[in-house]
């Protein structure tokens, strides 16, 4: 199983309650993986899709907060 598939399976395991959005980022060269799942309870905008990436691609992050 690939690292991306393992992260996706982990998201499925915690996705009770009907997630409306999820995302996975994997950089196998750097051995880094980020996964995120959320409900559209507060934010209906697609701009809230995660993992988020700074425009130059050097910073990729997920967070659990409301800004």
Convert the pLDDT of each residue in 6-41 to its tens digit: 877 877 777 666 667 777 888 888 888 888 877 666
Helices within 1-67 (DSSP H only): 3-13
CB-CB contact of 38 with 20 (8 Å): yes
Closest CA relative to residue 33, chosen from 9, 54, 66: 9
- The strand pairing partners of 32, in sequence order, are 27
67 pLDDT above the threshold of 60: no
Strand intervals (E) in the chain: 21-27, 32-38, 52-53, 60-61
The domains of the chain are located at: 3-61
């Amino acid at each position: 199983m690939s690292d991306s598939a393992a992260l996706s399976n982990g998201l499925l395991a915690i996705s009770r309650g009907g997630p409306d959005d999820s995302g996975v980022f994997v950089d196998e060269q750097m051995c880094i993986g980020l996964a995120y799942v959320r409900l559209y309870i507060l934010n209906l905008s697609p701009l809230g899709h995660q993992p988020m990436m700074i425009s130059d691609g050097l910073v990729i992050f997920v967070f659990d907060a409301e800004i």
